[in-house]
Structure 1
Amino acid sequence: MKCFYSYEGSIIFPILLVSSLCYFIPILVASFGEVENETPFTYTQGSGNGPKEWGKLDPDWKLCNTGKQQSPIDLLAEQPQVLPSLGKLKRDYKPAPARVKNRGHDITVTWKGDAGKIIINGTVYKLRHCHWHSPSEHTFNGTRYQMELHIIHINACEEIAVTAIAYKYGRPDPFLARLLHHIKAVEVGDEEKDLGIVNPGDIKFGSRKYFRYIGSLTIPPCTEGVVWTIVNKVRTVSRDQLRALRGVVHDGFEANARPTQSLEGRPVLFYTPTMNTGSS
């Protein structure tokens, strides 16, 4: 992955361009290795193994404390750079076999077949899995919503691109509604359970506008170089749906959102199809 800098007026905009070749630059390249065993860490501050201590719990997790490209962030902590030239997020999803797993710290749906892809600046990232955090991890000018969905993609170089959607209380989420009875039935420590064919195209985005920045995984090992795309529209989830998601994870992980991290000078870009930011 490389950053290409172009000028618009007097401002330098980092346009996230991904080469078709694999350049393994340690500071930028993220592996797909989210930790599966949640036992060593918690989200509880002051517990000795909460978010502030993650980087000290395992040598492989040191970036959680020392990294300069950590996630999540407050997307409106500084004025985003409006950049229509980023282009529309290209999604090409299709139904495929999927399984659900309770990882203790979250519920994960993994597609086992070819479930399609997204394309960012000409680079293909294949869909792998999705999972939920509650409350939302990213904030909007300090506002933290009730839930956040992370949709994980990986390219041929094993670099990660995550699409995120925030949710507030309201009408039930249709995608979650299709899976909820399976989610309620899977317990911590169970093997993955078949879901049959699941269409990721059922995940509703609701807006073409999005935020874009370079960050990290939000759980250990907090690997950096993740291309984040956060949909601008806040969608809705019902209280019953969120209660079900929280009820099946390990005690202490009902709230599984990492605190926001410092920007460390990173730009946050905002794509809108027109310069009229009042449109969807």
Structure 2
Amino acid sequence: MRLGKMLSSYAIAALVSSSLFAAGGATHWGYTGHEAPQNWGELSPEYSTCKNGRSQSPINISKDGVVVTNGLENIEFNYKTDAVGIVNNGHTIQVDVKEGSSIKIDGTVFNLKQFHFHTPSENMIEGKSFPLELHFVHASKDAELAVVALMFEEGKENEILRKIWDKMPHSANAKAGCGLQSSMINEILPKDKSYFRFNGSLTTPPCSEGVRWFVLKNYATLSKEQIKEFFDVFGHENNRPTQPLNARKVMK
């Protein structure tokens, strides 16, 4: 069975669309109070995997669960289209990208749909949390999903994030133009694109499993002010806590 076949059509549409976290008719969820991550599995039968899944994301990547391979293949990045716009979907800031950008891994082309942010990071590395994590979300023609995650450390202001932050809407379901060129999207990525790899899930309801995860080992930076700017848009953290690794192994 292909990994993508494990994902419901709702889950796929949710992850790649600008209405990702507020799909029509879906049970509402959030990051605080009764709708917080620890309760997602109880909010709706559609979200039961959030509670019962065995390959959930995010995770803490630690040496105890890492398998050293003879060398993972390089991810072929082909980001060549500009951003369409920026969306505040009520749970994150999402940048939608025009069709035509992709990565290639496992002999499969995964088309870049959007990228979005979580503060603090969802995944951790050796127990370390980061102030921001970016997820590049991709889907293949067979509806398989791949997420490339990039961590940000506090440091120098990030010029590309500045262009996004200056235009990000502060109201839920609001949209704005972007003007972010493909060269700028590529500039966000580190030069060394080595990564950790594991099989996981969506980090938001319905928490469907069968998602390829690639967490880049090298980080970008953003300033303390930029961290606060993003946090202030929502007024709370928007990350799911790490989940048990169970029988999975992380490859590097």
1:103 is displaced (CA, Å) by 1.1
Change (3 A) 1:170 1:72: same
Change (3 A) 1:92 1:59: same
Structure 1 moving runs of 4+ over 6 Å:
27-30
Pick one of 94, 100, 116 that aligns with 1:108: 94
Q: Percentage identity across aligned positions?
A: 31
1:217 aligns with 2:202: yes
- Structure 2 runs not aligned, ≥5 long: none
1:189 aligns with 2:189: no
- Partner residue, 1:263: 245
- Partner residue, 1:68: 54
Change (3 A) 1:24 1:95: closer
Distance 2:8 2:59 in 1: 17
- Partner residue, 2:14: 33
Equivalent positions of 1:235-250 (< 5 A) are 235-249=220-234
Letter of the aligned partner of 2:39 in structure 1? E
Distance 1:107 1:42 in 2: 14
1:205 is displaced (CA, Å) by 2.1
1:52 aligns with 2:34: no
1:156 aligns with 2:136: no
1:110 is displaced (CA, Å) by 0.4
Letter of the aligned partner of 2:247 in structure 1? G
Deviations 1:102-134 (A, max 9, x none): 0111100001332x1100111000111000000
Distance 1:58 1:28 in 2: 15
Distance 1:226 1:24 in 2: 7
User: Mean alpha-carbon deviation: is it higher for 170-179 or for 118-127?
Assistant: 170-179
1:135 is displaced (CA, Å) by 0.4
Deviations 1:37-73 (A, max 9, x none): 29832323xx332212101111111110011110000
- How high is the TM-score relative to the length of structure 1? 0.79
Is contact 2:4-2:211 (8 Å) kept?
A: no
Letter of the aligned partner of 1:63 in structure 2? T
Change (3 A) 1:139 1:24: closer
Number of residue equivalences: 242
- Partner residue, 1:278: none
Is contact 2:5-2:144 (8 Å) kept?
A: no
1:33 match: secondary structure: helix
1:142 is displaced (CA, Å) by 1.2
Is contact 1:101-1:186 (8 Å) kept?
A: no
In terms of fraction of residues, the more helix-rich structure is 2
Letter of the aligned partner of 1:122 in structure 2? G
Structure ID, larger Rg: 1
Distance 1:206 1:71 in 2: 26
- Structure 1 runs not aligned, ≥5 long: 3-22, 271-280
1:202 aligns with 2:184: no
Change (3 A) 1:63 1:255: same
